[in-house]
Amino acid sequence: MAVTQEYAFYGATNLVEIELTKYMTEIAGSAFEKTGLTSITIPDNILVIRDRAFAECRGLTGTITLPKYLRSLGRQAFYRCTGVEHFVIPDSLSEIDNQAFQDCASLVDFEFPSSLTYASENMLQGCSSLTYIEVPETVEMLAGRVFLNCANLEKVILKNPNLETGYLNFGKCPKLVTAGPIGGEYNIEFAWDKVLPALSFSEEYGSPILTDLVLPDTLEEIGDGALQYCANIHHLVIPRGLKKIGASAFERMTGLLELDIPFSVSEIGRNAFAYCISFQDFYLRNNSVIEDLKVQSWPASWFLGCNVNSMIHVPSTMEQDTDTRVAYGEYWNYRDNQDTIPYTPDIFE
């Protein structure tokens, strides 16, 4: 039985309080949207709160305690409830839909319920009073733009080593400038040890934030678009054991000056380094990867749009390889002097 019909009290600015019956199991969509509510007690028998049920209730302040047995929170359920500082969230809550808490500008903390595995798109976007977020190991996916425009967020801890990510989760968070493994005192600390997932640190074109990224020594794969548009990173040390670089992994890292790809890398995806226009030197150690350039229909796509004055350094065995020179030719000058440069994982220091 629903607490009321959809839009039942929509826009009722004179409604400042209401007592909800203990015999209801859900609150209908937009039931109290844009009302004048200043406080609300939601009984524990409520299992579902539908889309925009309390959206833009700007008079709500302080702490809102969600029902003890709540299972589902709808899209934009508390959207722009700008006066709420805390939500007490039960562990029973396993589904939080898109934008549920977006633009709750006074929200100072947020604790993920233990049963939640999927953080939906824009879930906490624009929560400008948040300073600290811990994403527990139980969360398996950050869908995209989860923390977009959280202007005062200065510490994020990601505890799941297998966490998957969507696009622009940390976009327009100006205080999140460093990232690295947990325990390193970075603004973003992560548990990823084998795979840096697709889109993990992707940024918005024209609004780059991240300046320093430390990759773990155990890393084996950098996923598709993982560092796309990270234009403020100038130097990056690639771990010795890395095996795979995904498509567009470094695309439009326009501030990156040089990169050393170790011998362990055996697979590089399309457009991996496209439009890295500040490249001065690029070192590619593995002959087998270079051989791949000659059999692909898009041989130069790794370096699409890169500076033609940049230098690519390849093994000396490729010196007389005309086919490889042709493969690079459209976007790169070719210089074969790698055997004079000893390998070191921190050549930029």
| Chain segment 62-104, per-residue pLDDT in tens | 999 999 999 999 999 999 999 999 999 999 999 999 999 999 9
Asked if residue 88 is part of any domain, the answer here is: no
Asked if residue 96 is part of any domain, the answer here is: no
Asked if residue 166 is part of any domain, the answer here is: no
Q: How many CB atoms lie within 10 A of CB 42?
A: 19
Res. 342: pLDDT tops 50: no
Task: Indicate which CATH number applies to the domain containing 348.
Answer: 3.80.10
Res. 26: pLDDT tops 60: yes
Asked if residue 3 is part of any domain, the answer here is: yes
Asked if residue 136 is part of any domain, the answer here is: no
Note down the domain range covering 78: 1-83
- Domain end position, chosen among 83, 105, 127: 83
Q: How many domains does the chain have?
A: 2
Res. 283: pLDDT tops 90: no
Asked if residue 15 is part of any domain, the answer here is: yes
Query: Phi and psi (nearest 5°) for 91?
Result: -70, -15
Q: Which residues contact 274 (CB under 8 A, 6 or more apart)?
A: 248, 251, 252, 301, 302, 303, 304, 305, 306
Task: Indicate which CATH number applies to the domain containing 61.
Answer: 3.80.10.10
Asked if residue 99 is part of any domain, the answer here is: no
- Domain end position, chosen among 52, 83, 114: 83
pTM for the predicted model, two decimal places: 0.89
Supply the pLDDT for residue 206. 84
- Domain end position, chosen among 56, 83, 110: 83
Asked if 204 and 332 sit in the same domain, the reply is yes
Supply the pLDDT for residue 156. 98
Asked if residue 22 is part of any domain, the answer here is: yes
